[in-house]
């Protein structure tokens, strides 16, 4: 298998068919999946109210100190039932966002795989793919991939509860070498899931048939798959670190403001840091989506090349009776 050809073709594919960048951004929604909610503790005290004595902020002037004092009294004056409703509301919103991210992530994954497959089959002179073309092509496979992702989430949630104690025991008994085994298992499962999705979309298989198909492709080409995983894995980590570098400048205005004013004012620095966050985060999300598009396109082309090679392997015929 020509690894250079696959990587070059993956880049040329997402460069020509830039709509795949959008599907890459959508596929990245899976990382934002679960919305956590914070708990607000309220202490109750019948009808009697209690006051919170704020700490002494010696480095602040009277204005910020008074604002903090008033804010503390405002917080303590909120009834407990309001905190309960707030927490429940956050849980509901987090659940709805998780469901939305699941649908969008599945749309991105299926669109990337199908778009890469269509581009690989197209002629060089063909125009770039459109969103409508890819969307119509993934309709027969979308719900199967969605069920696969939903099943993986449920297995991860319930399986994680039962694996925590065994993981700790193995980690301690093996002097912290055991996690390497879990990393290898996690790598294998990750590639198996990717190949399962590709098999569902490429070969129109059912979920369990696609799992078997992905298993056979990996086990029969384990060395080639490991090499590609190392290339995409290590390269992906390096590029992700480079992409995330702009986040280092976000707190700089706030820190400079604190140093210049002697920690007496944070308003201007905080505003500039928020503005930098608004500017930087969309860029990071976009670049991460392009990286996601490239990686999944490369895995799709890898699957297609491996299955094409296996199709051309000679078949040994046995148990043939000689006929005179």
pLDDT in tens, 78-126: 788 878 898 999 999 999 998 999 999 999 999 999 999 999 888 888 8
Q: What pLDDT does residue 123 have?
A: 84
pLDDT at position 210 = 93
Say how far residue 125 (Cα) sits from the centre of its chain: 34
Model's pTM, two decimal places? 0.76
pLDDT at residue 36 in the model:
35
CA dist 254 and 258 (Å) reads 6
Cα distances (Å, whole numbers) of residue 27 to 136, 160, 216, 246: 18, 23, 26, 22
Instruction: Please give the pLDDT value at position 47.
Output: 41
Q: Which residue has the tokens 């798959």?
A: 225
* Residues in the chain where the model's pLDDT stays below 70: 30-74, 174-179, 261-267, 309-324
| 28 neighbors 108 (Cβ within 8 angstroms) | yes
Distance CA 14, CA 290 (A): 8
End-to-end CA distance of the chain: 43
Give the C-alpha separation, 236 to 294, whole Å: 10
- What does the alpha-carbon distance between residue 188 and residue 182 come to, in Å, rounded to a whole number? 10
pLDDT of residue 248: 86
- Check residue 48 and report its DSSP letter: -
Which pLDDT does position 184 carry in this prediction?
Answer: 79
């Amino acid at each position: 298998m020509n690894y250079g050809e696959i990587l070059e073709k993956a880049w040329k594919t997402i460069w020509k068919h830039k709509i795949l960048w959008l599907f890459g951004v959508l596929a990245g929604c899976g990382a934002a999946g679960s919305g956590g909610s914070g708990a607000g503790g309220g202490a109750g005290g019948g009808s009697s109210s209690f006051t919170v004595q704020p700490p002494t902020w010696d480095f602040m002037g009277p204005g910020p100190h008074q604002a903090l004092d008033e804010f503390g009294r405002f917080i303590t004056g909120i009834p407990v039932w309001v905190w309960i409703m707030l927490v429940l509301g956050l849980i509901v919103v987090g659940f709805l966002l998780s469901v939305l991210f699941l649908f969008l992530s599945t749309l991105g994954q299926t669109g990337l795989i199908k778009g890469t497959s269509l581009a690989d089959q197209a002629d060089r002179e063909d125009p770039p793919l459109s969103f409508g073309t890819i969307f119509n092509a993934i309709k027969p496979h979308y719900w199967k991939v969605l069920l696969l992702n939903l099943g993986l989430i449920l297995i991860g949630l319930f399986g994680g509860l039962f694996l925590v104690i065994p993981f700790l025991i193995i980690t301690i008994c093996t002097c912290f070498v055991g996690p390497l085994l879990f990393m290898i298992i996690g790598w294998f499962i990750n590639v198996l899931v990717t190949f399962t999705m590709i098999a569902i979309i490429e070969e129109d298989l059912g979920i369990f048939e696609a799992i078997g198909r992905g298993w056979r492709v990996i086990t029969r080409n384990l060395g080639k798959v490991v090499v590609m995983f190392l290339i995409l894995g290590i390269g992906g980590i390096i590029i992700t670190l480079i992409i995330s570098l702009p986040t280092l400048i976000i707190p700089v205005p706030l820190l400079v403001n604190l140093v210049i004013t002697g920690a007496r004012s944070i308003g201007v620095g905080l505003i500039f840091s928020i503005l930098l966050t608004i500017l930087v985060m969309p860029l990071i999300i976009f670049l991460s989506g392009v990286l996601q598009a490239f990686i999944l396109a490369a895995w799709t082309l890898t699957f297609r090349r491996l299955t094409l090679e296996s199709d051309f392997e000679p078949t040994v015929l046995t148990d043939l009776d000689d006929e005179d």
